Amino acid sequence: MEKRWVIKKVADNKIIEPLSKALNINHKLANLLAQRGIKSYQTAKSFFRPEISKLHDPFLMKGMDKAINRLEKARENGEKILVYGDYDVDGTTAVSIVYSFLKGTHKLVDFYIPDRYNEGYGISFKGIDYAVSEGHTLMISLDCGIKAVEKVEYANKKGLDIIICDHHRPGDKIPEAIAVLDPKQNDCNYPFKELSGAGVGFKLIQALAARFEMPPETTYAFLDLVAISIAADMVAIVGENRTLSYFGLENLNMSPRIGITYLLNSAGIKKRTSLGPTHYFDRKITITDLVFLIGPKINAAGRIDSATDSVRLLISNNKGHTIRLGNQINELNLTRRKLDTNITREALQMLANRESGNGVSKKASIVYNANWHKGVVGIVASRLIDNYYRPTVVLTRADGLITGSARSVKGFDVYNAIESTSHLLENFGGHTYAAGMSLKPENLESFITEFNKYTEENITQEMLIPEIEIDTELFISDINYKFYKILRQFAPFGPGNMSPVFLTKNVIDTGYVKLVGKNDESKHLKFSAVHPDRTGNPVPSIAFNQARHFKKMKEGKIFDICYHIEENFWLGNTTLQLRVLDIKFHD
């Protein structure tokens, strides 16, 4: 698939020069900082050395006083509290945080995760009925609830008070709950708007700790779960999220909870000590590990069976219990991967058959099969974008409704596209690049027509070509451990602070390029990049799924590469390598 290379504008030298001198770094690193809005010694200090003491006051969030007052009343009166959360990573980590904290101060606490298939996303009537039947008088909803107007009204009539903790976009009407915590409310003065659902839950326990005059450190033990939620939910790792992620990763590397240790070990990141109070891994855990190794496993339980087991794993302090739950979740993840692979293959075939037809929108992909597994349609939508780079909706049928997930491409707000069809939907929600919806079967054709019409009118042809945004150009001689040592301090990386992408022009392979891959599938290129004049030491490089370039590279043709710089861990040795994103040969 062709990709567009877009090189960021170099920052003004009037900023780069003094920044370079103040920090004693070279101009290219100073430029990377300036491109991220870091233009002074003080802002650079805050960027490289976040301070946990500078997290925002949770009472700045609209509704926080009301929420804490109600929780204080519940504590004084010995009321039963139900902690309710969504079934994805953000929801289960949020529930684990708030439930565990409350259990330390209030014994009458339970948690509830709705069933993806019987109840669907968000606060459910069944969940409310369960809370009431079990004698709960207060429910805290996490990572959901901001649009649950009817559900909250139902709960109010049943005598169940609800505190909503959410981070999704509000609708036109805010539910009449006891308190609504969501920094995206128009009249909320909380300084940072991009918290994850677990992040909002963390602010709640921060406020509770302050009200109960507990040391702030009592909440810091939960930052590992906040970091996992930030990574898995793909929220921006800037501002307060950067601080939360930074210290959350520190927790994960210094003293991870045993459930996370088990998942990391089972993913192949070896531990040096057995499960216990302190754990050490062979390398530092990163946001990337949380996105690709931890997040999918935590998600798997809710996709295939019950996300309740994910919460149980995250809050477990018992080695035997942890291993049993971890094994179950690993098995569910294997099942999820098989479903994902099979459904993706079927969906790709559908799209391939349509591509040869006439009158089919080439600006969006919508596929539907009533028999597909509801739990993996979001993953499949992402897979389809890897092949057909355009907004994608994958739909299936469950409990009489058509339900599905949408994913988007850079620059196109798929939430707005879904919202434009809201008159056809029973329910919808999400973010700029990911959304979910449900609708009656009789509205399917109209939904497809209107979604396609919206994309035709609101997406440009250029947006349909994958873009690689390049931070700056380097020479091979620039790449060394001194440079990388500073570069890795830019982490944690993620939306808003992506791992820098570099461009190096006019390179050749040293002559030892080879094809590599698993199971006799040689899909990847392994080579060493060097300038033709041999300036700078050759740098080992890996280009995944780019075997098509082998012949030209073997012939000694000159090419340009864009890449990340990373460490490669192999057989106890650590070396620098380039992870090549794209290659362009000279004509």
Q: How many domains does the chain have?
A: 3
Residues 512 and 386 in one domain: no
CA angle, residues 458, 236, 316, in degrees to nearest 5: 125
123: closest CA among 75, 76, 91, 159?
91
pLDDT of the chain along its 587 residues, tens only? 789 999 999 999 999 999 999 999 999 999 999 999 999 999 999 999 999 999 999 999 999 999 999 999 999 999 999 999 999 999 999 999 999 999 998 889 999 999 988 888 889 999 999 999 999 999 999 999 999 999 999 999 999 999 999 999 898 999 999 999 999 999 999 999 999 999 999 999 999 999 999 999 999 999 999 999 999 998 999 999 999 999 999 999 998 899 999 998 888 876 554 444 444 566 789 999 999 999 999 999 998 888 999 999 999 999 999 999 999 999 999 999 999 999 999 999 999 988 765 555 679 999 999 999 999 999 999 999 999 999 999 999 988 999 999 999 999 999 999 999 999 999 888 888 889 999 999 999 999 999 999 999 999 999 999 999 999 999 999 999 999 999 999 999 999 999 999 999 999 999 999 999 887 678 999 999 999 987 778 999 999 999 999 999 999 999 999 999 998 877 767 889 999 999 999 97
pLDDT score for 12: 95
How many residues does this entry show for the chain? 587
Q: Are residues 220 and 99 both part of a single domain?
A: yes
- Among the candidates 233, 265, 300, a domain finishes at 233
Question: Is there a domain that residue 241 lies in?
Answer: no
User: What pLDDT does 292 receive?
Assistant: 92
Structure tokens at 147: 């649009």
31 within a domain of the structure (yes/no):
no
The reply to whether 448 and 367 lie within a common domain is yes
Q: What is the CATH number of the domain that holds 405?
A: 3.10.310.30
- pLDDT tens per residue, range 277-306: 444 566 789 999 999 999 999 999 998 888
d(CA 102, CA 85): 15
Cα dihedral sign, 434-305-332-315: positive
Residue 342 lies in a domain: no
417 plus 527 within the same structural domain? no
pTM recorded for the entire structure: 0.90
Looking at residue 361, its pLDDT comes to 65
Is residue 500 located within the same domain as residue 389? no
Whether 535 is covered by a domain: the verdict is yes
- The reply to whether 222 and 128 lie within a common domain is yes
Read off the CATH number of the domain in which 225 is found: 3.90.1640.30
Query: What's the CA gap between 523 and 545, in Å, rounded?
Result: 5
Residue 220 covered by a domain: yes
527 and 452, same structural domain?
Answer: no
Look up the CATH number of the domain holding residue 492. 2.40.50.460
Q: Name the nearest CA neighbour of 517 among 544, 541, 540, 539.
A: 544
In a domain, 392, yes or no: yes
Q: What is the pLDDT of residue 276?
A: 45
Among the candidates 415, 431, 464, a domain finishes at: 464
| 227 token code pair | 């970091």
In a domain, 9, yes or no: no
Distance CA 214, CA 206 (A): 9
- Report in angstroms the alpha-carbon separations of 297 from 113, 428, 558: 17, 25, 42
* Domain assignment of residue 539, yes or no: yes
If asked whether residues 220 and 105 sit together in one domain, one would say yes
Q: What is the pLDDT of residue 214?
A: 94
| Co-location of 456 and 487 in the same domain | no
Q: Do 543 and 424 reside in the same domain of the chain?
A: no
Domain range for residue 436? 358-464
* 314 vs 317: CA distance, rounded Å: 9
Q: Measured between alpha carbons, how far is 576 from 400 in angstroms, rounded to an integer? A: 54
Residue 514 and residue 502 share a domain: yes
* Domain C-terminal end among 210, 233, 256: 233
Q: How does 184-212 read in b/e, with b if 16+ C-beta sit within 10 Å?
A: bbeebebebebbbbbbbbbbbbbbbbebe
Considering the domain architecture, whether residues 86 and 183 belong to the same structural domain is answered as: yes
